[in-house]
Amino acid sequence: MNRVDNISGLKLLEILNRLDFFRQFSQEERRVLLEDKLQVYFCKRGFHVFREGEIDSTFYLVLSGRIRIVQRTRDRVLGTVSAGQFLGEGAFVTMAPRSASALAEEDAVVLRIDSKALKSLSATMREKVKDAIIAGMAKRIVHLNERLQNV
């Protein structure tokens, strides 16, 4: 995974403005996040964003490409995360070992935030991040319930 430093702040702000995850953030709060809280990374196809069992409190938002979520211990694909979606929220919130691996299914660009960066945010912004994670997880549960009903 290679850090991308050549994207302008204006372009990144434009990207954040399009993501549902940041909908409840003001323009100023988005700028604060871009100052030094969020980092952009490029993941080449086949790259492991993280591995099952690792202890790592990092959370990722996919800007482009697709990331496959795989449980190696049970040898099964759990799903795919694409642009506008996030991954790694379980370990980010609980500080527990990763329950699955994340593998770039195609070249991907991701935003990365770790627990240290989260703790450095104002209480209001931390709550907005947590609320966005909860909202995204709720959407995922609804989607999974719909899939189960169609089986």
Return the CATH architecture of domain 2-149.
Answer: Sandwich (2.60)
Residues facing residue 4 across a β-bridge: none
* Chain centre distance of CA 150: 28
Q: Taking the domains of the chain in order of start, what are their residue ranges? A: 2-149
Look at residues 127, 42, 49, 55 and name the one whose alpha carbon lies nearest to residue 91. Answer: 55
Sign of the CA dihedral 7, 12, 14, 18?
A: positive
Per-residue pLDDT of the chain (151 residues; tens, 9 = 90+): 888 888 888 888 888 888 899 999 999 999 888 887 788 999 999 999 999 999 988 999 999 999 999 998 888 998 999 998 999 998 888 889 999 999 999 999 999 998 888 888 899 999 999 999 999 889 888 887 887 788 7
Q: From CA 16, how far away is CA 23, in angstroms rounded?
A: 8
**Token reading at 136:** 């995204």
95, 57 contact by CB (below 8 A): yes
Task: Kindly give, in sequence order, each residue whose CB lies less than 8 Å from that of residue 62, ignoring residues fewer than 6 positions away.
Answer: 81, 82, 83, 84, 85, 86, 87, 108, 109, 110
